[in-house]
Structure formats: structure tokens, C-alpha cells
Structure 1
Amino acid sequence: MEIAYINSPLGAIEIKGNEEGIASVRFLGSEEKETNVISENLQPCSNQLKEYFEGNRSQFDLKLNPEGTNFQKRVWDKLLEIPFNTTLSYLEMANRLGDPKVIRAAASANGKNPISIIIPCHRVIGSDGSLTGYGGGLHRKKWLLAHENPVKQQSLF
């Protein structure tokens, strides 16, 4: 498994993958030196994440290879269907999976998403509009949702 580190406005990000695709993208709690020479398997992911953070990308075009159960992969596939600048509740996610009773299992799979940002688990919120848990931290979830919102609040003063 190849590894690369990039810097972002939200801290260091670790990218793991190989010729079979991207296996994980995760925020690190510590600072990491950005990888100088990124392998050809990870370079497209690095470039696209940087474009996303610069505001120049709203969709990713990458080969993904996350490890998980069949149910988790079904949930992650549904997450990929959530458009940029759109949110969905956990209940809506369960309904899209075909059974509102799987809400807890869907929430658990959402929380185990190994490919942050690209598989947009940050776009799933509580039914009441609250920013429920996020593996990368609620401050990052709030930032990502604000970053994707084209309407920026202007200062009155």
C-alpha cells in the first residue's frame, strides 16, 4: 500500500492506495511533512483534493477501493450519489437503501467510511438539521459544508 501526505486548510491528510484504487483518505491529528514525490497511483487523488480545497472541483473522478462489508459498500455507494452542496439525513439515507429500519446500521457504516471528502459522509446530517458526528471532527464537517455552499455570508460591517 502506497502512502502520501498532503496539507489542507483542515490539517494534514493521509492518502493510501495502490494500482487497485484509493483505499483511504483521512485527516491526521498531527502535522506531517507533505510528500515531495507522490506515486502515480496517488497523484490524481492528491491533485483533485487540492483542487477541491482551492474551490476548483466539486466532483472527484478517482478509482476507489475501500475495504468494508457489502452493506458498508452499499452505504458508501449511496453517499457518492449525494451531490455537491447538498445534505441528506440519516433517515433519508436509510430510505434510499430501501428500508428505514436500517438507519442505525447506515449511520454506523457512514461513520466507518475510510475515504473522507471523496465519499462525502460529511453531507449526512441529523433529521433536525444538526451536524451529528463526523470521524474527522465536527469542526471539519462544519468547514466542509460551508466550503461547498456557494452562498457565503457577507459581513455587515
Structure 2
Amino acid sequence: MDSATDSAPRREARAWSWAVLDTPIGPLLLAATELGLAQVVFHADDRRAAASVAHLTRRLGAAPGEECRAPLEEAIRQLEAYFAGTLREFALPLDWSLITGFNRRVLRELAAHVPYGTVVGYQDLADRVHEPGAARAVGVAMGSNPLPVVVPCHRVVESGGGIGGFGGGLETKRRLLALEGVLPQPLF
């Protein structure tokens, strides 16, 4: 999941594309640049998708186009396999340019070392990036994750056993953890 995008965010306009994928947790907007998948947005109904595209147009410095379809096609294929229960580890090029600093370090650690079907506590993740006492900051990093599901912030839970928060909503987090066998499937 690593890519050559560790340098500071680029300032020049970049070509990018987007698509909306219907999933068991609702529509996801996927955006990719030539470097890889750059953003996943939950609950991407028409209004949210339009707002996300406008925001990404400002951040990436260009309107979306057709130039970057290949990263999207592979991301769609892998996400469909994940939701079908046949994929446990994403192997996608990622464009990390929408996140920097501490947040990027935490998310990269999460992506690389918290596998499918496991969870990690906020404090444990802070310790893993050599920032003891930064459990709350880890929570902020999870909330700013531009690549949820693929960079699995749903796998970060409270150290005391609580589910913790989630930008996609707690029901979405429960469903993702149930898909991975961490929680029982909902009865209804």
C-alpha cells in the first residue's frame, strides 16, 4: 500500500478522476490521481458527492477528468471483493498527499500493521508511532483519514473495549467490524 508520495503535498494542478460505488455500507465516492487512490468519502449521495468533488477540485487544483481511470477501476474491483468477503488486504497504490505530518504517520502505521479481523487501541497506535500520550491526537488522525476502509480506521477502538468514534457513523463502523469478524453480525 506504500507509494512514492511521501514528499510534501504538491502545489501544481494534478489530473484526477472520481466515481461512486454502491456498497453494503452505502455509496462511497472514490477519487484517484495518477499516483493512486486519494480519497474515499462515505454516504456519497448526490449532494455529498458534488460537495466532495468541489472540495477536491480546490485541493488538487484541477477539475476531474478521465485521465486517471485505472487506479479507480482497480480500487472498485478490490472494494467489491472486500465487501464480498473475498479480499482481506488491499494492494492499491495510494496518493497520500491529502494528509501530512503526524496524521500521515499514524495512518501509514495503521495501514501497514493492523490486519483484517484485528483491532488496535488509540493509545497503542500512539505508542507505535513513538508518541505516548497522543491517544486523542490519534482519534483526530482517524477522523481526518482521507482513505477510510482502505486505510482501516474502523479497526481503531477504545482501549477499554468501547467501539470509539467513527467519521462514517457508528453503525458503519459496526458493520465493517462485523464484516471482518470482529463483532457479531447485526440481528436485523
Task: Report the TM range for the smaller structure's normalisation.
Answer: 0.7 to 0.9
1:28 deviates by: 1.8
Higher strand share: 1
Q: Is the 8 A contact 2:39 2:147 kept in 1?
A: yes
Give the AA of the match of 2:125.
M
Gap runs ≥5 in structure 1: none
CA RMSD of aligned residues (A): 2.2
1:58 deviates by: 0.2
Distance in structure 2 (CA, Å) of the matches to 1:151 and 1:111: 21
Distance in structure 1 (CA, Å) of the matches to 2:173 and 2:26: 13
Q: Is the 8 A contact 1:14 1:25 kept in 2?
A: yes
Gap runs ≥5 in structure 2: 1-15, 48-65
Which aligned pairs between 1:6-155 and structure 2 lie closer than 5 A?
6-28=21-43, 30=45, 39-66=69-96, 67-80=98-111, 81-149=113-181
- Count of residue pairs brought into register by the alignment: 151
Q: Is the 8 A contact 1:89 1:125 kept in 2?
A: yes
Give the AA of the match of 1:71.
F
Q: Is the 8 A contact 2:35 2:93 kept in 1?
A: yes
- The verdict on how the C-alpha distance between 1:49 and 1:101 changes in structure 2, with shifts beyond 3 A counting, is same
% identical equivalent positions: 35
TM-score (norm 1): 0.88
Q: Is the 8 A contact 2:118 2:182 kept in 1?
A: no
Distance in structure 2 (CA, Å) of the matches to 1:105 and 1:150: 24
TM-score (norm 2): 0.74
